[in-house]
Amino acid sequence: MVYLQKYLEDCGCDPDLVQLIRLISRQMEPIRKAFLDNQFYEHTLNASGEVQAALDKWADAHLIKVIGESGYVREIASEEQEDIIRFENSRREYAMVMDPLDGSSLISTNLAVGTIVGIYESGGVMQKGSNLKAACYTLFGPLTVLVVSVGKGVQSFAWDPKSEHYYLLKKSFDIPEGKIYGSGGVYKDYIPAHEKVLSYFDEKGFKVRYSGSFVADCHQLLVYGGIYTYPALKKSPKGKLRLLFEANPLGYIITQAGGAITDGYQSPLDIQPEKVHQRTPIYIGSAGIIKKIEEIYREQ
Ligand code: P6P
């Protein structure tokens, strides 16, 4: 069995980056255990105005405490925090963006949710996603799975509660051209370009498979190929998903697996963030589908 730390060391990662990723990965069991205690919504709203599950707040506070105390990280931007958190005494300049618990509205349904993290080597969190040094997400499904990229493709690791290690599950993901359609933003106030995209999906016989958890809906694309959409809508021209915490880390990982991400015109990875919680329309998945979507948008 190849364990997470050994694999990252063999990739030639900076030892502190290895330890940072390892530290993040080891917070997943405490979060999973906290599901039992925190599964009901509190009546609070996050910085994006969305109802927070108690577990959103618990996971956010836990990760900020543990990672902040590690000394590896100078800044953290979290979907659950209004402002960027700075650690003046950190030993390293890594900067972390995170969605502590993506898809938390599904906790009470026991569907798969997960934690999304992006890591910059230095320069703070307000950077283009194309500058990411590493990104990872966990998926709390039948297994607790960690998917990670340090710029050398994409690997997955499974948590083994007996040995208390993550061991290598899949050494390399190469996203196929599939026909799964994760239909985020299924409303009727579509913009004309998205109407044309949906007609294309119908014509090609795409099949809807959507859970409402971005991290879970993207993970299935790594395995089967296809597309996840949360497009610009008439009433919300920037869509719903956040650039820093969702689009960039998952865009980095999917791109590392041979896929692609677009807002219809360009990759969100190339967007210079102006606000911590700015949103972006998202199409993410198989490269051939993304190419076709950008052709459709250009024809508008
Ligand atoms: P809707 C979860 O809040 C999230 O950000 C993504 O994980 C998910 O894909 C999307 O929102 C779900 O949005 O409008 O379908 O509930």
- For residue 102, say whether it is annotated as part of any ligand binding site: yes
56 Cβ inside 6 Å of ligand 1: no
Q: pLDDT value at position 48? A: 80
Point out the least confidently predicted range of 109-113, 190-194, 226-230. Answer: 109-113
Output the DSSP codes for the chain.
--BHHHHHHHTT--HHHHHHHHHHHTTHHHHHHHTTT--SEEEEE-TTS-EEEHHHHHHHHHHHHHHHHHS-EEEEEETT-SS-EE-TT-SS-EEEEEEEEETGGGGGGT--BEEEEEEESSS-SSS-GGG-SEEEEEEESSSEEEEEESSS--EEEEEETTTTEEEEEES--------EEEETT--S-B-HHHHHHHHHHHHTT-EE---S-HHHHHHHHHHH-EEEEE--BSS-TT-SSBIIIIIHHHHHHHHHTT-EEESSSS-GGG---SSTT-B--EEEE-HHHHHHHHHHHHH-
> Domains (ranges, CATH) in the chain?
4-170 (3.30.540.10), 180-299 (3.40.190.80)
Ligand 1 binding pocket mutation candidate from 215, 241, 282 (most atoms within 8 A of CB) = 241
The pLDDT of residue 171 is above 70: yes
Q: Taking all residues of the chain, what is their mean pLDDT, rounded to a whole number?
A: 94
- The tens digit of pLDDT for each residue in 240-291 reads 999 999 999 999 999 999 999 999 999 999 999 999 999 999 999 999 999 9
- For residue 49, say whether it is annotated as part of any ligand binding site: no
184 Cβ inside 6 Å of ligand 1: yes
Structure tokens of 207?
A: 């099949």
ipTM of the complex: 0.93
- For residue 207, say whether it is annotated as part of any ligand binding site: no
Q: pLDDT value at position 44? A: 65
The pLDDT of residue 5 is above 70: yes
Residue nearest to atom 12 of ligand 1 (CA): 212
Query: If you measure from the C-alpha of residue 57 to the centroid of ligand 1, how many angstroms do you get, rounded to a whole number?
Result: 17
Q: pLDDT value at position 35? A: 81
Residue nearest to atom 6 of ligand 1 (CA): 214
Per the model's pLDDT, the better-predicted residue between 176 and 186 turns out to be 176
Q: pLDDT value at position 106? A: 85
Mean pLDDT of 173-187: 95
- For residue 79, say whether it is annotated as part of any ligand binding site: yes
pTM for the structure as a whole: 0.95
212 Cβ inside 6 Å of ligand 1: yes
- The tens digit of pLDDT for each residue in 18-75 reads 999 999 999 999 998 888 776 554 556 677 877 667 788 889 999 999 999 999 999 9
The pLDDT of residue 177 is above 80: yes
